């Protein structure tokens, strides 16, 4: 038998086909100059140029957005139009600098400017104010920006990242015992979980579920939303002990409090509570590597009765057709967390089948940048 070292070396040299030759032509500066002037290609060349510039300036847009959130500009404009001078006085900033910020916000369609120089909310800015948890996520991005400061080093795994410290539970329960740390990440998760719960429950059918077990359910936002939508449904949240006090406090104030419960534990170290006919994993799998995911899916399979169902909902990769939110934002976010990865529906379905599930039903995503869901069923014997 030939040793691996005896195998012929792999040829990694590119093999240009017809499309590659065409793209080489497009990449020539001379061609770009010609295309920008030729009547039949002028519009396409201008569109390509605008899209390229938008990619180049993207980091500036994100920082303008950060400044608007930090200064609560959009929230201030909820009460009515204001001039840059008025906003500058409230925020302790020079008027000319505030004018610069507001012109940028208007160019980004977050605000509008009238002829008298008054600024008010545009539809996109108003929508941003209304999205639960979005301000908190944007503030939280300060750490993400720093982790992305050297993206090549991040891709090579040569940097220690801040996001890895922000989400310590992904490395096991022993890393998330501090109550203050737990509250910090759980608060952020709970505020953004409302919109995820709404999109998930809009597509996933839980009308036949009697007992839902929400693994890694945090403060119980999804469990509560499911119980409120389905009055017959009882829900148990399974999450780390450090989460329990705040979770129980919120559950006690819920209109569905008599149908909500919390069990403390780690799915890495403890058995899952039994008695459920549906298990939900809401933004859980993409935090973890494949071996951890397979072990969790197998434990869920063993816990569920025949015919029991598993609901997975989280940001996903587009797979064979890469998708911006999953394959850009969430992909690099997981990279900065130093664990986990976004997976496509097809990949998650493959992992579910590997652990025994069948009848995988992928749901069409209403908003991929919020979540994508699928349901898997344990076969009947």
Residue 222 has pLDDT above 80, yes or no: yes
Residue 138 lies in a domain: no
Task: Work out whether strand 372-377 and strand 358-362 pair parallel, antiparallel, or are unpaired.
Answer: antiparallel
Q: How many domains does the structure of the chain reveal?
A: 2
Confidence bin at 3 (pLDDT 50/70/90): low
Residue 174 has pLDDT above 70, yes or no: no
Q: Could you say which of 85, 103, 130 is where a domain stops?
A: 130
User: Average pLDDT for residues 12-23, to the nearest whole number?
Assistant: 76
User: Average pLDDT for residues 15-33, to the nearest whole number?
Assistant: 79
Residue 92 lies in a domain: yes
User: Average pLDDT for residues 46-55, to the nearest whole number?
Assistant: 88
Do 247 and 309 belong together in one domain? Answer: yes
How far is the C-alpha of 284 from the C-alpha of 313, rounded, in Å?
Answer: 8
Mean pLDDT of the chain: 89
Confidence bin at 120 (pLDDT 50/70/90): very high
Q: Is 314 in contact with 350 (CB distance < 8 Å)?
A: no
Residue 115 has pLDDT above 60, yes or no: yes
User: Average pLDDT for residues 304-331, to the nearest whole number?
Assistant: 95
Do 101 and 174 belong together in one domain? Answer: no
How many Å separate Cα 178 from the centre of its chain? 25
Residue 191 has pLDDT above 90, yes or no: no
Q: Choose from 21-35, 175-189, 215-229 the range with maximum mean pLDDT.
A: 215-229
Residue 87 lies in a domain: yes
Residue 27 lies in a domain: no
Which string of DSSP letters, residue by residue, matches 19-31?
Answer: HHHHHHHHTSHHH
Do 310 and 364 belong together in one domain? Answer: yes
Residue 82 has pLDDT above 80, yes or no: yes
Do 308 and 278 belong together in one domain? Answer: yes
Q: Residue 171: its pLDDT value, please? A: 52
Stated pTM of the model: 0.86
At residue 40, what are phi and psi to the nearest 5 degrees?
A: -75, -20
Angle at which helices 42-56 and 58-70 cross, to 10°: 50
Q: Which of 174-178, 251-255, 324-328 has the lowest mean pLDDT?
A: 174-178
Burial class of 196 by CB neighbour count within 10 A (0 to 12, 13 to 18, 19+): buried
How far is the C-alpha of 360 from the C-alpha of 350, rounded, in Å?
Answer: 9
The residue segments making up the domain with residue 160 are: 147-377
Q: What is the CATH number of the domain that holds 301?
A: 3.40.50.150
Q: Could you say which of 130, 163, 184 is where a domain stops?
A: 130
User: Average pLDDT for residues 48-65, to the nearest whole number?
Assistant: 92
Q: What is the per-residue pLDDT across 124-155, written as a single tens digit (0 to 9) for each?
A: 999 999 888 888 889 989 999 999 999 999 99
Residue 346 lies in a domain: yes
Residue 142 lies in a domain: no
Q: Could you say which of 102, 130, 158 is where a domain stops?
A: 130
Do 69 and 213 belong together in one domain? Answer: no
Q: Residue 46: its pLDDT value, please? A: 86
Return all residues near 343 (Cβ < 8 A) that are at least 6 apart: 285, 286, 316, 317, 351
In the structure encoding, which two tokens stand for residue 191, read together?
A: 């505020």
Residue 266 lies in a domain: yes
Do 194 and 292 belong together in one domain? Answer: yes
Do 230 and 330 belong together in one domain? Answer: yes
* Angle (nearest 5°) at CA 380 between 377 and 381: 145
CA distances from residue 281 to 94, 154, 158, 278, 286 in whole angstroms, order as listed: 48, 28, 31, 10, 10
Q: Residue 175: its pLDDT value, please? A: 45
Task: Report the largest interatomic distance among the alpha carbons of the chain, rounded to a whole angstrom.
Answer: 83
Q: What is the CATH number of the domain that holds 92?
A: 1.10.10.10
Do 244 and 117 belong together in one domain? Answer: no
Residue 181 lies in a domain: yes
Do 67 and 179 belong together in one domain? Answer: no
Do 115 and 171 belong together in one domain? Answer: no
Do 206 and 353 belong together in one domain? Answer: yes
Q: What is the per-residue pLDDT across 328-351, written as a single tens digit (0 to 9) for each?
A: 999 999 999 888 899 999 999 999
Do 286 and 353 belong together in one domain? Answer: yes
User: Average pLDDT for residues 106-122, to the nearest whole number?
Assistant: 95
Residue 267 has pLDDT above 60, yes or no: yes
């Amino acid at each position: 038998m030939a040793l691996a070292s005896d195998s012929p070396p792999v040829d990694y040299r590119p093999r240009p086909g017809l499309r590659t030759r065409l793209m080489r032509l497009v990449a020539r500066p001379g061609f770009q100059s010609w295309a920008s002037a030729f009547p039949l290609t002028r519009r396409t060349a201008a569109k390509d140029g605008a899209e390229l510039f938008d990619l180049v300036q993207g980091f500036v847009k994100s920082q303008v957005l950060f400044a608007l959130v930090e200064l609560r500009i959009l929230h201030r404009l909820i009460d009515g139009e204001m001039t840059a001078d008025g906003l500058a006085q409230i925020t302790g900033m020079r008027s000319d600098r505030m004018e610069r910020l507001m012109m940028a916000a208007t160019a980004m369609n977050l605000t509008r400017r009238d002829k008298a120089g008054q600024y008010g909310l545009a539809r996109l800015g108003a929508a941003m104010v209304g999205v639960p948890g979005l301000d908190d996520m944007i503030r939280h991005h300060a750490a993400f920006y720093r982790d992305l400061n050297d993206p090549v080093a991040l891709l090579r795994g040569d940097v220690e990242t801040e996001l890895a410290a922000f989400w310590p539970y992904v490395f096991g329960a022993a890393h998330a015992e501090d109550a203050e740390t737990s509250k910090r990440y759980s608060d952020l998760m709970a505020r953004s979980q409302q919109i995820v719960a709404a999109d998930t429950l809009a597509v996933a059918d839980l009308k036949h579920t009697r007992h839902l077990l929400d693994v890694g359910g945090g403060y119980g936002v999804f469990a509560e939303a499911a119980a409120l939508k389905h009055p017959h449904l009882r829900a148990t949240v399974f999450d780390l002990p450090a989460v329990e006090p705040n979770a129980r406090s919120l559950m006690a104030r819920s209109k569905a409090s008599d149908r909500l419960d919390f069990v403390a534990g780690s799915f890495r170290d403890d058995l899952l509570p039994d008695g459920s006919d549906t298990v939900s994993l809401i933004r859980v799998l993409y935090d973890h590597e494949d071996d951890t995911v397979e072990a969790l899916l197998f434990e869920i399979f063993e816990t569920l009765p025949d015919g029991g169902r598993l609901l997975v909902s989280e940001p996903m990769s587009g797979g064979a057709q890469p998708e911006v939110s999953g394959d850009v934002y969430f992909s690099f976010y997981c990279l900065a967390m130093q664990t986990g990865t976004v997976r496509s529906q097809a990949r998650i379905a493959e992992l579910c089948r590997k652990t025994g599930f069948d009848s995988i039903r992928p749901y069409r995503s209403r908003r991929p940048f919020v979540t994508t869901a699928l349901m898997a069923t344990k076969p009947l014997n």
